[in-house]
Amino acid sequence: MGRVIAVANQKGGVGKTTTTVNLAASLAATKRRVLMLDLDPQGNATMGSGVDKHDLAITSCEVMLAQNRPEEAILRLESPGYDLIPANADLTVAEVQLMNALRREYRLRDAIKDLRERYDYILIDCPPSLNMLTVNALVAADGVLIPMQCEYYALEGLSALMGTIDAIRESVNPDLRVEGLLRTMYDPRNNLATQVSEQLFAHFGDQVYRTIIPRNVRLAEAPSHGLPVLLYDKASRGALAYLALAGEMLRRDRPVAPPQAAAT
């Protein structure tokens, strides 16, 4: 059964959508079946996948409001190699209507439960806020991947997000766990970045990915071409970093054989 991972951080500009798009492409490059679900009304993950967000018949809005089945919203993207449930500004309508809906926290989990058998990974690009859309993503997810810059205010925002994750775990999704913390836009010449990185390891240990996403011009340029960086410039530092992240994620997910079985 496939794993559902929410890529979330209520702070904007930390590389959340960049991570979702490029991790999806990198996992697809390893022959995994990947679905990316855009749950951000800005639709940046949709545009970054080469899809015009202004020309969509069915989006994640209709899926969230149970007006269409998720299978009807899926776009199969041959070039990046993953499937996409797109989003645009219509999703703000879903956010408003969900406020008074029955089982409002479970809408996404109910909608995608049958898709788990079809994919190895379902990546959800969350909006940069702790709203009802993000709550739906956390209720539907097995794990949360948290991209963050190594700066002072990032730690403050991380504390709020961890509080939300704990609240979701205690109330509606006890199996939710932190998939990992990903350091993005990293500049090793910045002393503060090094200090914050050390604090992350001190507090979260192995939950911090060893892979670091550097500041990279090609990584920043790729979305304007509607491409993951792996297709835009596969030799760039950004592309290699996200391939390394996919590899680290797959190693973490690989089941460890019991000692007796391993010996046999």
Q: Tell me how far apart the alpha carbons of residues 114 and 71 are, in angstroms, rounded to a whole number.
A: 10
| Each residue's pLDDT tens digit, 20-65 | 999 999 999 999 999 999 999 999 999 999 999 999 999 999 999 9
Q: CATH no. for residue 155?
A: 3.40.50.300
- Would residue 63 count as lying in a domain? yes
- Would residue 90 count as lying in a domain? yes
- Would residue 57 count as lying in a domain? yes
Pair type for strands 83-85 and 121-125: unpaired
| Each residue's pLDDT tens digit, 159-216 | 888 999 999 999 999 999 999 999 999 888 888 888 888 889 988 999 999 999 999 9
CB 139 within 8 A of CB 168: yes
- Would residue 89 count as lying in a domain? yes
pLDDT band at 132 (very low <50, low <70, confident <90, very high): very high
Per DSSP, the three-state class of 149 is strand
pLDDT band at 255 (very low <50, low <70, confident <90, very high): low
Amino acid at 169: R
- Would residue 93 count as lying in a domain? yes
pLDDT value for 217: 95
- Would residue 254 count as lying in a domain? yes
Domain limits for position 235: 3-259
Amino acid at 11: K
CB 232 within 8 A of CB 238: no
Q: Which residues pair with 143 in a beta bridge?
A: 5, 177
CB 70 within 8 A of CB 85: yes
Q: Tell me how far apart the alpha carbons of residues 123 and 217 are, in angstroms, rounded to a whole number.
A: 24
Domain count, the chain: 1
> For the chain, how far is it from start to end, CA to CA, in angstroms?
27
pLDDT value for 262: 40
- Would residue 109 count as lying in a domain? yes
pLDDT value for 13: 83
Pair type for strands 3-7 and 121-125: parallel
| Each residue's pLDDT tens digit, 66-109 | 999 999 999 999 999 999 999 999 999 998 999 888 889 999 99
Amino acid at 103: R
- Would residue 264 count as lying in a domain? no
What are the C-alpha distances in Å from 64 to residues 33, 108, 169, 176?
A: 23, 6, 21, 20
| Each residue's pLDDT tens digit, 59-77 | 999 999 999 999 999 999 9
Mean pLDDT of the chain: 92
